[in-house]
Amino acid sequence: MMFLDKVFKFLKEAKVEARKINWPTKKETINYTLIVIATFLLTALILGGFDYLFTKFLNKFILKTP
């Protein structure tokens, strides 16, 4: 089998498999996006809070700055 035959066979099989894809609806996509954004913001707030607390702790007890 020649190289081009293999390429065409692959593309034909990929097209068949692509038809089986179940794409999310617009509503599902919006919901998933909002979940990702909310998770990101919550994680940022938690990490920012820890950073603030550790900085205050280091400045007060370790570095002894006023």
| Span 14-66, pLDDT tens digits | 999 999 999 999 999 999 999 999 999 999 999 999 999 999 999 988 887 66
* Token pair of 25 as six digits: 């609806």
Is residue 35 in some structural domain?
yes
Is residue 19 in some structural domain?
no
Is residue 1 in some structural domain?
no
- CB under 8 Å, gap of 24 or more: what pairs does 9-13 form? none
Is residue 14 in some structural domain?
no
**pTM for the structure as a whole:** 0.64
Is residue 15 in some structural domain?
no
Instruction: Write down the pLDDT at residue 12.
Output: 97
Identity of the residue numbered 47: L
Is residue 52 in some structural domain?
yes
Is residue 4 in some structural domain?
no
| Domain hosting residue 44, numbered range | 25-66
Interval 10-17 mean pLDDT? 96
Split into its structural domains, the chain has a count of 1
